Amino acid sequence: GASHAHAYLDGLNAEQRAAVEALDGPVLVLAGAGTGKTRVLTTRLAHLVDTGRARPWQILAVTFTNKAAREMRERVGRLIGAEESGLWFGTFHSLCARILRRHAELVGLTSTFTILDTDDQVRLAKQVIQAAGVDEKRWPPKVLVGAIQRWKDKGWQPGQVPGAEAHEVARGRGADLYAAYQKRLKELNAADFGDLLMECIRLFREHPDVLADWQRRFRYILVDEYQDTNVAQYLWLRLLAQAHHNICCVGDDDQSIYSWRGAEVGNILRFEKDFPEATVIRLERNYRSTGHILAAAGAVIANNEERLGKTLWTDDGEGEKVRVQGCWDGDEEARFVSDVIEHLRAQGMSLSDMAVLVRAGHQTRAFEDRFVTIGMPYRVVGGLRFFERAEVRDALAYMRLIITPADDLAFERVVNVPKRGLGDTSVQAVAVAARAAGLPMLVAAADPVVVGGLRPKARAALADFTRMIAGWREALSHEPHGEVVRQMLDESGLTGMWQTEKTPEAQGRLDNLKELVRTVEEFDSLPAFLEHVSLVMDTDTRAGEDMVSIMTLHGAKGLEFDTVFLPGWEEGVFPHERALEESGRDGLEEERRLAYVGITRARRRAVISFAANRRVYNQWLSAVPSRFVEELPAEHVELSGQTGVYGGNRAAGWQPAGRRADPYAQTSPYAQTEVYDRATRLADDVTARTIDGTAVRVERGGMSVAPRRPGPASG
């Protein structure tokens, strides 16, 4: 029967198999963490190809991060071999960029359009705000960028922003500024991240023939992490699936953690409405984690009210209890984590099976410091870390100018880097003249007729600069692009600039530039490389080396590790103070979903820790363990800690799971060390008790000063 022909089906359980074999029509798989949703998706993909329903290039598969795309590509590669190369596999953004480049002229761009990063967006918003005569102090460019992003996430063009929304920005001029911003983007031949989707949707809507082509091409659509799609992404999917309805989405409402980016769990309900014939499949068996881990995660998420609700079970045995460690301070916490890692490594476990998952990016530093100190190989996954460094960004701006002369933002960034004696006035003069003549700045700068009235020195500097760019562009036609980039770094003076600088960082920057050239050479062409840079989320992977991963909880979605460290489980850190302040209970529930995501990344071992003291701006502040710690059921948790805090709690009959009624309950020794309770954190300003009973004042959003204890308490 089928199982012999398709061996990859054999390992699936009945529900998974049903989800894989329901090839035609809409399918929605709603299931908890580790139940094999992603596995269903990859197997389904293999099955589509294997049964001849579709060729690889007729399948569109959407993942949430580039890292997830890579992992899925590997999984699929194992299932169907070399054929995976033709797949349309990637994030919404990368897929949209790919489609847009083919039809760029239909939306007022050319195929070499630039994808702007956040810095560029802010610079552009600033220009727009200034040009409109809006008070920049009252309406900072960042605010406008945020609003535009939000509107794009909802799928609104400038004309579609509802009055009430538009009125919240720049006294009702929000929509006008948005329109001006879009116009300027077109002039620059550029798109921001939100545009990739918006322009693709506009393309589909305004050119039904183009849409029809893509609908015919993508016979099957697969979407992972569906709970985190925003409205624009949903609209895009619906347009593509409209003709055939062959769309399969998998997701978990308990793992929805991107509402701040406009993601809407409502899309799950909308799916069932838009595709009423949808097959809805639920998976309940978890294959990833042991019993204690699963039970602990389940107990935490059970505190959320807004849930569709589901059960999970595992056949895997109880395993180790979730370890909860109280530490004296952040340094001790980092030491503790590295000790456990070394211990596990000594037992033969590989570092790549371990991850430290933090709530906020800044938390990585303590672990990075510790790992560097003891020589523990690690990588920080996620963020644009490497490509965000200034020296790298300068080099990238040069490359962008070589490929896209119209990239005025790149021009402004590097025309005087390294310093060529071009003041702001000269650059302004070029900008004004270029705009008047309707030319890119790079082109205008080369023309003394267009830009008049410059001093000879500035004139010569501009001439040199434009000649260099033109020279490298010309060189690209007959030399390897890596070689051209190397020349560019030398001839532009970028390398020299760091060679002459005698700071400790300068060598690191030179190393980064070398690494940059190495990366460029991995790509077929310079445009392909720049495309990669624009889209890539996580870059610091040196393949093959055994390393501990450090990443944010958001970045860890969909991944799994044998051992997961979850540090910083303190009120204000996690749940994050701002999430609570800005979105109240919704914010708290989203933080709790994040806790659920964190714990469920673990296959065998979850290690949660918190510190009793944190150093913030040279002050010692005492911290309160996260409410999520208390929501962990005692029977699935193993408490330990040198501070004795937790042991004390247990000895005193500490009751986990469930919030204490009296925020200052003295039953727990820990409560006595609290400066203020989480409940009062949300109040505007409150008075709370310290260890010795004296009252301190706590300001809104701020931290109170706690007396530094002499050393780790015993027992």
Q: Which of 30, 33, 430, 497 binds ligand ATP (CB under 6 A)?
A: 33
Contact status, residue 177 vs residue 86, Cβ threshold 8 Å: no
Specify the residue for token string 């990239």. 407
- Among Mg ion, ligand ATP, none, the one that 420 touches (CB under a kind-dependent 5 to 8 A) is none
Per annotation, catalytic residue among 84, 224, 264, 531: 224
String marking each residue 2-21 x if it binds ligand ATP according to CB under 6 A: ---------xxx--x-----
Q: CB under 5 to 8 A by kind: which of Mg ion, ligand ATP, none does 541 bind?
A: none
**Rg for the chain (alpha carbons), in Å?**
28
Q: How far is the CB of 450 from ligand ATP (least distance, A)?
A: 55
Contact string 521-560 vs ligand ATP (x = CB under 6 A): -------------------------------------x-x
- Residue 121 or 229: the one with the smaller Cβ distance to ligand ATP is 229
Which of 19, 30, 36, 563 lies at the binding interface for ligand ATP (CB under 6 A)?
36
Which three-class secondary structure state does DSSP give residue 40?
helix
Is 255 one of the annotated active-site residues of the chain?
yes
Output phi, psi for 218, to 5 deg: -85, 95
213: β partners: none
Shortest reach from residue 180's CB to ligand ATP, in Å:
41
d(CA 56, CA 220): 10
One residue of 15, 19, 26, 38 binding Mg ion per CB under 5 A: 38
202 included as an active-site residue = no
Question: Which ranges of 404-524 does DSSP label H, i.e. alpha helix?
Answer: 408-414, 424-437, 441-445, 456-476, 481-491, 494-500, 504-521
Which of ligand ATP, Mg ion, none does 248 bind, CB closer than 5 to 8 A by kind?
A: none
Cα–Cα distances (Å) from 129 to 139, 425, 587, in that order, read 8, 20, 31
**Beta carbon of residue 92, minimum distance to ligand ATP (angstroms, whole number):** 17
Known catalytic residue at 581:
no
Pairing of strands 322-329, 59-63: unpaired
Partner in contact with 527, chosen from Mg ion, ligand ATP, none, beta carbon below 5 to 8 Å by kind: none
Query: Is residue 705 within 8 Å of residue 691, measured between CB atoms?
Result: no
Please, are residues 417 and 394 in contact by the beta-carbon 8 Å criterion? yes
Phi and psi (nearest 5°) for 336?
Answer: -60, -50
CB-nearer residue toward ligand ATP: 84 or 560: 560
Helix (H) or strand (E) holding 563: strand 561-566
601 catalytically annotated: yes
Half-sphere exposure in the Cβ direction for 447 (13 Å, CA)? 12
Beta carbon of residue 35, minimum distance to ligand ATP (angstroms, whole number): 4
Shortest Cβ contact with ligand ATP: which residue?
36
The nearest distance, CB 430 to ligand ATP, in angstroms, is 50
Alpha carbon separation from 10 to 6, 43, 239, 250, 315 (Å, rounded): 8, 11, 34, 21, 18
In whole angstroms, give the CA distance from residue 378 to residue 364: 11
Run of H or E including 271: helix 266-274
Tell the burial category of 4 from Cβ atoms under 10 Å away from its Cβ (0-12, 13-18, 19+). exposed
Q: Which is nearer to ligand ATP, 420 or 603 (CB)?
A: 603
Among positions 243-302, residues that touch ligand ATP (CB under 6 A) are 252, 255, 287-288
Residue 361 is assigned to a ligand binding site: no
With vertex at residue 273, the alpha carbon angle to CA 267 and CA 276, rounded to the nearest 5 degrees, is 130
- Binding pattern for the stretch 449-478 against ligand ATP, x by CB under 6 A and - elsewhere: ------------------------------
Interface with Mg ion, residue 42, by CB under 5 A: no
Q: Which does 363 bind (CB under 5 to 8 A by kind): Mg ion, ligand ATP, none?
A: none
On whether 35 is known to bind a ligand per the annotation, the reply is yes
Q: Are the C-beta atoms of 120 and 409 separated by less than 8 Å?
A: yes
CA 621 to chain centre: 29
Q: Out of 601, 603, 605, 614, pick the active-site residue.
A: 601
CB of 308 to Mg ion, least distance (A): 17
Q: How far apart are CA 202 and CA 207, in angstroms?
A: 8
Is 31 labeled as ligand-binding?
yes
Does the active-site annotation cover 224? Answer: yes
**Annotation says 643 is catalytic:** no
Residue positions annotated with a catalytic role: 37-38, 224-225, 255, 601
Contacting positions for ligand ATP (CB under 6 A): 11-13, 16, 31, 33-39, 252, 255, 287-288, 558, 560, 600
